[in-house]
Amino acid sequence: MQREARTVEALIRRYCRDHHNSAPELCEDCRQLLAYARKRLHHCPFQDRKPTCGKCPIHCYAPGKREQIRAVMRYSGRRLLLSHPVLALLHLLDGLRKPPSGKASGPA
Q: Which residues bind Zn ion (CB under 5 A)?
A: 16, 20, 27, 30
Query: Minimal distance in Å, beta carbon 104 to Zn ion?
Result: 28
Considering the complex, state which of residue 30 and residue 44 has its C-beta at the smaller distance from Zn ion. Answer: 30
61, 51 Cβ separation under 8 angstroms: no
Query: Minimal distance in Å, beta carbon 8 to Zn ion?
Result: 14
Query: Minimal distance in Å, beta carbon 41 to Zn ion?
Result: 19
Tally of CA atoms within 13 A in the half-sphere of 72 that contains its CB? 28
Local structure of residue 105 (DSSP, 8 states): S
